[in-house]
Amino acid sequence: MRIATWNVNSITSRLPRLLAWLESSGTDVLCVQELKCGDDAFPTGPLRDLGYEAASHGTGRWNGVAVISRVGLTEVRTGLPDGPAYDGAVEPRAVSAVCGGVRVWSVYVPNGREVDHPHYTYKLEWLAALRTAVAADAAAERPFAVLGDFNIAPADEDVWDITQFTDATHVTGPERAALAALRETGLRDVVPRPLKYDHPFTYWDYRALGFPKNKGMRIDLVYGNAPFATAVSDAYVDREERKGKGASDHAPVVVDLDLGGPTDG
């Protein structure tokens, strides 16, 4: 089974690339973030024409997540139980489903903005709620993974130059501690293998030639429980999808699983 995660930075803007990539990559399950569209505008029809069904959770603003699958889609859950609100609204940042016998969560962790900003506190609260929400799935015998844009680089080597991130979000101790607490539920970091460069970055800013200069970050993560992690046969970042006109500022992270035979969704 091939499972991937991709922050598309607007599914409407990226739809032709998304459909072409699904068709060419052989992906069975795709977790998508930053839809920037409401559920009523989600491209269910074009995806169905390719043989995929989807569970989306979006309101049409700056967030939104989805799970897209051609191997079954059951037990759909939207949002985090007791998840925090920001500025009076509970944002659409998490959706989960069982696809081909694997439960996946597609998550879009709040950015945090600045360390002294209320959004940073919200980010830490949201991560704590995520930990609580996934604990039972993480401990289960069924393969399970949380995939998405975490807006956190787990280690210094996961950014192009740590000296450029002094007093910045995405690399702070509390954020990384929240990731560590998430892993303590029984999850492992599935790190993609290096391809063109020594380190598998997943995001490059549009500005200042970030991608050509490889000034990137590894913030799109796959955290799987033991049954998931031990089934991984390959993991890589599809950097080709960050190239060219109309690309997202993130690239897909692809994980291949050897589950030892057919499973039910």
Alpha helix locations (H) across the chain?
11-25, 44-49, 118-139, 173-183, 226-229
241 is known to lie in a ligand binding site: no
Phi/psi of residue 95, each to 5°?
A: -150, 145
250 is known to lie in a ligand binding site: yes
Known catalytic residue at 117: no
Annotated active-site residue in 52, 108, 122, 203 = 108
| Alpha-carbon distances of 98 from 69, 102, 264, rounded to whole Å | 9, 5, 9
Alpha helix locations (H) across 60-139?
118-139
Known catalytic residue at 49: no
The number of beta carbons lying within 10 Å of the beta carbon of residue 246 is 8
Contact call for residues 164 and 123 (beta carbons, < 8 A): no
205 is known to lie in a ligand binding site: no
Cβ neighbours of residue 242 under 8 Å, at least 6 residues apart? 204, 211, 248, 249, 250, 251
199 is known to lie in a ligand binding site: no
What is the C-alpha to C-alpha distance for residues 76 and 66, in angstroms, rounded to an integer? 10
23 is known to lie in a ligand binding site: no
If phi > 0 it is left, if psi is from -120 to 50 it is alpha, else beta; for residue 39 that is alpha
Torsion sign, CA atoms 132, 179, 242, 197: negative
Known catalytic residue at 250: yes
DSSP, residue by residue, 146-175 = EEEE-S--SSGGGBS-GGGGTT-TTS-HHH
Cβ neighbours of residue 163 under 8 Å, at least 6 residues apart? none
Contact call for residues 11 and 37 (beta carbons, < 8 A): yes
34 is known to lie in a ligand binding site: yes
Annotated active-site residue in 28, 137, 149, 220 = 149
- Residue ranges at the known binding site for Mg(2+): 7, 34, 149, 151, 249-250
Question: Which residues are the active-site residues?
Answer: 108, 149, 250
Binding site members: 7, 34, 149, 151, 249-250
